[in-house]
Structure 1
């Protein structure tokens, strides 16, 4: 039986699944392939990912990847200040991509589309016959509201403007979509509060999942030889992650080192910013940069931390540490949407309390097998995305 064609629009190449949004977008692709002939159209913002295009081509019927030049994208975004649009839209605007979308829809008689991230919605507006489901993932406009709480006067003005204008675009896209999904019930509820009542019934959630066979403490991966007490994993050019490790390094880590002068803190993730790189070598902090596999580091650490001060949605770094049966301490923002009572998952927003938890875990790490069991029972990818094909086809109501 032939599977119907589907257009999958993604703001970042969905492979390899090595950072938050790409983990979700890739696992969505795997689920879509079971039910559709998938045509992927995406951007690539990191030249390092070009090597993975051949592998991704094996996972879809067709693949269109457009490289982004950051300087040119920022110049396009600035044009949004004149038009009144959110800066995110012109940042991703592309006539070449629009032509490719139009070509695919006409050539393959595509009737269904999945839009991943609000910035990609602009490419489906010229195709009114498409049945569209949009996976917003997070409420991006609210991230900009959080960003506006920091920074100088000019930055706060830009971020507040982006929050207002992007929220309008989110409403437009939600209106155009047959259904809109988010990464957690909390995220979906926040979006409902921002939207007109008429849209509430077509807003729902699809949890993130974890590849429990990959993130398995008994799995096959090279052991880490370095002594690691505390570990943070994540893309280190992402503002929220940068902010998190800086907060931890400035407010928590000195308290830990007062009691444990030899304690080590590893920051593991690609493209570390200058501010993150400046931490390397100070007070037992090591900044690794891009690594082939985060599992050896997370496994070697006595405790993994997620000290995020800005966050939306569900944090994969927390789920992955839980799947590896490792203790985790996170801020309340970082744990939002993960409704677990696993005893080795700790929550703290105060530096002194956060430091006390870290110190206790360095001395005697908590037994965390129940964390892995909770993940297996609640957040496997095959269960998390099971309703998505029906939402796209219109045969499933959440």
Structure 2
């Protein structure tokens, strides 16, 4: 039985944002079953320290990625490719992969995120598992709808080029994985791909537990919390929409309510939202303290693909959650979170929860129980065992 090569667009450690949390838990699950070699990129200097991955990997190498968006776009235009691929195109990565495939017996390549599919050698004879997570091409199609002028054309071009690449990738791999049934259905419908499977995101309910040991922040009064990577466009747009359009409606009934935007790397646009009513924290050591302090947690994303970790984390912390319909769509919440599509819908749901503490607490407790039943990592990742088992069986038969 051979080893597994894990390719990731961002180092899985530390698991401190949505994509890295999924990648880390998938890597951990696979490492318990096969010998794993990891090659990944980093765009944060802290991620170059790979010591946290030592116990999971037989070998590992993290490459620094600093190609600018402008350079990636110019390369994409010249080469007729999507910028999502040229942004991650690296000679060093190709050489690292060639070296591993030469030195080690690899029977399975696990590709995490579509940008990394370009690195699977055309002549690789083993099994390739493609974890798309969600359908990136649709994200850019959504961007195009809201853009104007040349940017609209660029986003539409990216969506079209990326969709063609996703379709071609699905045709050459053994399995295409997505985080939700809705996302998998869209992919099948739009690409005609056959072997599409759902591997949902999970949550560590021992860590995200209101009874665990952590420091609760000292904010007083009604507090609404939104968490996420705050240089990620959908999060930036969500924070601005809530702060400017939804929060003022809520404050008509609850005038002392404050809105906390909690997450690393807030853009200038996010920092500009700060006021007496809006807190912009930047990076925090432990998001659980803010979640525990929240009277209500919101996820007002206009563009959301797959399962939102931020929603699972809030549910696990037994907080009442109000999400936009796109943010709630991929989650099997069984009515334990509230959702809405418009300003009035979301504002009304939050206002009602702020005015009914007993209902809010009951909803939060139900949300935690639902997450414990439905979203433990071991259960969510169990289908991966069969996928890599098939790879091992095929290798032994050969």
Query: Which TM-score bucket, shorter chain as reference?
Result: over 0.9
Counterpart for residue 100 of structure 1? 96
- Report the more deviating stretch, 364-373 or 317-326: 364-373
Matching residue of 1:362: 354
Match of 1:378 in 2: 374
Cα displacement string for residues 133-175 of structure 1 (whole angstroms, at most 9, x for unaligned residues): 0000000000000010112211110010001100111111111
Once residues 187 and 111 of structure 2 are traced to their aligned partners in structure 1, the CA distance between those partners, rounded to angstroms, is 17
Cross-structure match for 1:297: 290
SS in 2 for 1:28: helix
Correspondence for 2:269 among 272, 275, 279: 275
> Following TM superposition, where does structure 1 have runs of at least 4 consecutive aligned residues deviating by more than 6 angstroms?
none
| Cα shift at 1:389 | 2.7
Give the Å deviation of 1:48.
3.4
Alpha-carbon distance between aligned partners in 2 of 1:356 and 1:350, rounded to the nearest angstrom: 10
Mapped to 2, the partners of 1:314 and 1:89 lie a distance apart of 23
* Deviation per residue, 1:107-156 (Å, 9 max, x gap): 01111110001110111134421310000000000000001011221111
Q: Which whole-Å CA distance do the structure 2 matches of 1:213 and 1:339 have between them?
A: 20
Which TM-score applies when normalising by structure 1? 0.94
Q: Deviations over 1:330-375 (max 9, x none)?
A: 01100011122244x1111121221122122223231121211111
- Residue in 2 that maps onto 1:87: 83
Q: Give the aligned partner of residue 225 of structure 1.
A: 218
Q: Which ranges of structure 1 fall in alignment gaps of 5 or more residues?
A: none
The answer to whether structure 1 residue 330 and structure 2 residue 323 are counterparts is yes
Mapped contact 1:342–1:370 kept (Cα < 8 A): no
CA distance in 2: counterparts of 1:234 and 1:106, whole angstroms: 40
Q: Give the distance between the partners of 2:117 and 2:340, measured in 1 at CA.
A: 37
Superposition RMSD on alpha carbons, in Å?
1.5
Tell me which residue corresponds to 1:216: 209
Say if 2:298 and 2:321, in contact at 8 Å, map to a contact too.
Answer: yes
Structure 2 length normalisation: TM-score? 0.94
Counterpart position of 1:179? 175
Q: Could you tell me how far apart the structure 1 residues matched to 2:345 and 2:191 are?
A: 37
The residue aligned with 1:61 is: 58
Give the deviation of 1:224 after TM superposition.
1.4
Tell me the distance in 1 between the aligned counterparts of 2:107 and 2:171. Answer: 18
Q: CA deviation at 1:261?
A: 2.3
Q: Which runs of 5+ in 2 are unaligned?
A: 393-398
Residues 207-231 of structure 1: per-residue CA shift (max 9 Å, x gap): 1000010001111111211225100
Please give the alpha-carbon distance, in whole angstroms, between the structure 2 residues aligned to 1:167 and 1:37. 33
3-state SS of 2:251 partner = helix
Q: CA deviation at 1:283?
A: 4.3
Report the number of matched residues.
Answer: 387
2:126 and 2:391 in contact (8 A); partners too: no
Q: Which of 23, 26, 31 pairs up with 2:24?
A: 26
Of 129, 151, 156, the residue aligned with 2:152 is 156
**Are 1:308 and 2:308 an aligned pair?**
no
